[in-house]
Amino acid sequence: MALPSIALPGQLLGTADKYLPGPGTHIHSSSIYASIGGPVTTSPTPKTTAAKPSPLLSIQRPSPSASPGVLGTGSGGGGTILPQVNSVVLALITRLGPRFATCEILVIDSIVCRESFQGQIRREDIRATEKDKIVMQDSFRVGDLVRGTVISLGDQSNYYVSTSENEFGVVVARSEEGRLMYPVSWREFRDPVSGKHESRKAAKPF
């Protein structure tokens, strides 16, 4: 189906197999719906090991007025927003290490970034309990879309992100076969076709 140029709240926009849900949208039964009314936009996501990265589907919101963390506006209207401490972000996992996951920040406080920012989620910032038992591969996989909050600006080129609160964690995950999975607990997602469970630090749904 073709994307509408303007959506109404509750309108079907597309399937989660083709798009990632962005600001102003939500997933229900593997389909993406508009949560608010407004112009529909798509944004490319950084390339990952996945064969075909999915574009980010969003409903455009009014541009925020200039404030700390927002640079001067250009002729296109709107500014370039920067991550700030306590900003809620959506980030794509691009690399895993034994101590941290590297991610690309795509959305800041419900505003799609004009360019992505690099972030890190350290092992001790993944969850609030049993931090010594955390295994990175059981929390995230490359290609996962994660909701988190910025806890440190670092050196302004590598922001530290936390998913320790219940509402933060993986919001979109695909199985090893490439199918969109759904969460069955705070620590597991399930492939709807094979029934296979995979470990993730899942975000609590709104």
Q: pLDDT (tens digit, 9 = 90+) per residue, 45-92?
A: 655 545 566 788 888 765 544 444 544 433 334 456 888 999 999 899
CB neighbours (10 Å) of residue 58?
27
106 and 178 co-located in one domain = yes
- Asked if residue 108 is part of any domain, the answer here is yes
| Whether the Cβ atoms of residue 22 and residue 110 lie closer than 8 Å to each other | no
Count structural domains, the chain: 2
- Asked if residue 65 is part of any domain, the answer here is no
Q: pLDDT band at 139, cuts 50/70/90?
A: very high
92 and 162 co-located in one domain = yes
Q: Which amino acid is at 161?
A: V
27 has pLDDT over 90? no
46 and 108 co-located in one domain = no
- Asked if residue 54 is part of any domain, the answer here is yes
Q: pLDDT band at 200, cuts 50/70/90?
A: very high
The domain spanning residue 14 has which CATH number?
Answer: 2.40.50.100
40 and 103 co-located in one domain = no
98 and 20 co-located in one domain = no
Given this model, what pLDDT does residue 138 score? Answer: 94
117 and 160 co-located in one domain = yes
109 has pLDDT over 90? no
181 and 114 co-located in one domain = yes
pLDDT in tens, 1-16: 678 887 776 788 888 8
91 and 164 co-located in one domain = yes
26 and 97 co-located in one domain = no
- Asked if residue 79 is part of any domain, the answer here is no
- Region 162-177: mean pLDDT is 92
- Asked if residue 68 is part of any domain, the answer here is no
Q: In whole angstroms, what is the distance from residue 31 CA to residue 13 CA? A: 8
194 and 92 co-located in one domain = yes
Q: DSSP readout, the chain?
A: -PPPSEE-TT-EEEETTT-EE-TTEEEETTEEEESS-EEEEEEPPPP-SSSSPPPEEEEPPPPPPP-TTBPPP-TTSS--B---TT-EEEEEEEEE-SSEEEEEEEEETTEEEEEEEEEEEEGGGS-SS-GGG--GGGT--TT-EEEEEEEE-TTSSSEEEE--STT-EEEE-B-TTS-B-EEEETTEEE-TTT--EEE--BPPP-
Specify the higher pLDDT residue, 140 or 79: 140
Given this model, what pLDDT does residue 189 score? Answer: 95
- Asked if residue 127 is part of any domain, the answer here is yes
Q: Which amino acid is at 29?
A: S
Given this model, what pLDDT does residue 32 score? Answer: 86
Q: In whole angstroms, what is the distance from residue 165 CA to residue 81 CA? A: 24
**pTM of the predicted model as reported, rounded to 2 decimal places:** 0.67
161 has pLDDT over 50? yes
The domain spanning residue 92 has which CATH number?
Answer: 2.40.50.140
26 and 92 co-located in one domain = no
The region that residue 150 occupies, defined by phi over 0 for left and psi between -120 and 50 for alpha, beta otherwise, is: beta
Given this model, what pLDDT does residue 35 score? Answer: 78
36 and 134 co-located in one domain = no
Q: pLDDT band at 20, cuts 50/70/90?
A: confident
- Asked if residue 204 is part of any domain, the answer here is no
Range of the domain at 183: 87-199
- Region 20-30: mean pLDDT is 81
